[in-house]
Structure 1
């Protein structure tokens, strides 16, 4: 059994036992029940889903969609085990899952390019990866973080060996800087915009500005192989509705932000509106349509992971993602 496969199996069995079968949740007469698990608490990465729900795009496709929070186990386990039909994940997570024979498949890119980077308040004096040397990085405990740091620092003839890496877990970004942390990996569309709303100026070194290989799709929408085999038409109908939702998020960001807030009123309204405007031209970017995924992007990142000893073997790209279910 490949590395970590046993751990995955245990987690999947836990999900099956604890959560029961998700099929039939919120089923409405004459509608097909479908579930999607988020990767995190609701935010503007998910706006298209909530717009599709609010505007009846799912209903037009004959779908009764249940949007589920991930809980401790995350979306990938739910989707891979068949306890949810769809989930929000990332190209990185799908790549790691496929190497372990976990049947996740990415069917749409929510945001075309990688909008993440290493961020610090301007008073930390970090303006480039070379400045990470002799500083403290607040990490989440994933091996890929050190590889990311090394890739950026090598571009400036610096070494990740000179960085002190502190595991801060899920500590709030703004709280972390009270713990002698100098910089953290963030997604600018949410945390970076939150800093702007709070009046905190950041310096950010985006991963894709230093390496084309790190410009991967994140987040993505996933399903499982069983859905592809047995319910391909449901996938098409689901993505048809979701595509309309994200197209609205692109062309009508203020309205879409309001719909997200209607569904999740506890969110900070200023943050949601500012984030939505920032992301509006990021969802599709220069791709021919929303959701499309690039084979080159998948190959580049998988090869980078393999070359950095983050994968045990080459990824079968054709099994990991597909554009076949996006609207034609």
Structure 2
């Protein structure tokens, strides 16, 4: 759940190259049948309609953002929809590149990356919000005494060199008459949050559902400043499930079937966090069991929160964040909001 914010110009270039070069390979794997059969209710084995092989690529290593996918697979929800779903980790180009090119039909992305991609005519589309409100923010061990954005001044921030990081930090600091130029920016490299704060940084941008919960389990209390608490424009969708325009045009029924099963997976996680956590642990046994369980209990009610159903997205959220990115020179141009996301494939 480490923050992978900020598509760089290199990634956009890769997306464009792959879209042009590989578009003809759109969804070959989605139509490849599996040799699977089911039993009839009478108990005799008969050959059923082959399942359709479908891949979804994650944004990062498996974590509780992804629980609904693993639940849907484990509980047979995908199979009920005629799908044989494989959950894979991203390649070098990332999930967005793989989805935009048609290498896979579905992936986990972010509102920010979809917005930036669409300014470059990369046809990513968000089809479901996994979490309704932004659970990310700036975190620091309590001994650094960072209680407000103004306290960032004179401190060392550990990040990844994305323009978005400094823009968000500067935006919430300005509201308190503080100056982002007074913050020392340090590239964390591959160091995790807990290693970095013991080495050379004071604070970093984290998702509380994972790193924050891990801090609780370590008994290393944090001061957490959620970015959404300082600006409605920063309460954007992260993460989201993405597809591409060609997939929407050529096989909308696949998207409906996939989201119907996925929604059932997340609903089980909402209703039964412990059961869902155990499914994720069994599916990815290298994960820390205590962390998964605690994280799941914290995150499950936030999947839907105040929305009428899991996955729902609002035009106002997309417009607000787009406006914010434009005002901070993070976009070259505006986008057509209605083409960047859709609720049309969510189950009623």
Q: 1:25 to 1:156 in 2, by over 3 A?
A: farther
Q: 1:253 aligns with which of 268, 273, 278?
A: 273
Whole-Å separation in 2 of the counterparts to 1:33 and 1:3: 31
Q: For residue 266 of structure 1, what is the aligned residue in structure 2?
A: 286
Whole-Å separation in 2 of the counterparts to 1:130 and 1:14: 47
**Contact residue 140 and residue 169 of structure 1 kept, 8 A:** yes
Whole-Å separation in 2 of the counterparts to 1:58 and 1:72: 27
Whole-Å separation in 2 of the counterparts to 1:4 and 1:192: 29
Tell which structure's C-alpha radius of gyration is larger. Answer: 2
Q: For residue 191 of structure 1, what is the aligned residue in structure 2?
A: 211
**Contact residue 33 and residue 63 of structure 1 kept, 8 A:** yes
Shift of 1:125: 1.0
1:300 aligns with 2:324: no
Q: For residue 202 of structure 1, what is the aligned residue in structure 2?
A: 222
Q: 1:5 to 1:128 in 2, by over 3 A?
A: closer
CA offsets 1:71-95 (integer angstroms, 9 cap, x no match): 3321000000000010000101100
Q: 1:288 to 1:23 in 2, by over 3 A?
A: closer
1:229 aligns with 2:249: yes
Whole-Å separation in 1 of the counterparts to 2:130 and 2:32: 25
CA offsets 1:268-287 (integer angstroms, 9 cap, x no match): 00000000000011100100
1:8 aligns with 2:15: yes
Shift of 1:226: 1.0
Q: For residue 145 of structure 1, what is the aligned residue in structure 2?
A: 165
Q: Match of 1:166, SS?
A: strand
- With structure 2 as the length reference, what TM-score do the two structures score? 0.89
Q: Match of 2:313, SS?
A: coil
In the alignment, structure 2 segments of 5+ residues that lack a partner are 1-8, 37-49
1:312 aligns with 2:332: yes
**Contact residue 34 and residue 63 of structure 1 kept, 8 A:** yes
Q: 1:129 aligns with which of 117, 128, 149?
A: 149
Shift of 1:23: 4.2
**1:1-328 equivalence runs, <5 A:** 5-10=12-17, 22-23=29-30, 27-29=34-36, 30-328=50-348
**Contact residue 95 and residue 302 of structure 1 kept, 8 A:** yes
Shift of 1:152: 1.0
Range that drifts further, 109-118 or 67-76? 67-76
- Root-mean-square deviation (CA, aligned residues, Å) is 2.0
**Contact residue 28 and residue 64 of structure 1 kept, 8 A:** no
Q: 1:275 to 1:15 in 2, by over 3 A?
A: farther
Shift of 1:207: 0.4
CA offsets 1:92-145 (integer angstroms, 9 cap, x no match): 110011111111100000000000000000011111100000111001111000
Detail structure 1 runs of 4+ shifted over 6 Å in the superposition: 13-16
- With structure 1 as the length reference, what TM-score do the two structures score? 0.95
Range that drifts further, 171-180 or 88-97? 171-180
Whole-Å separation in 2 of the counterparts to 1:43 and 1:68: 13
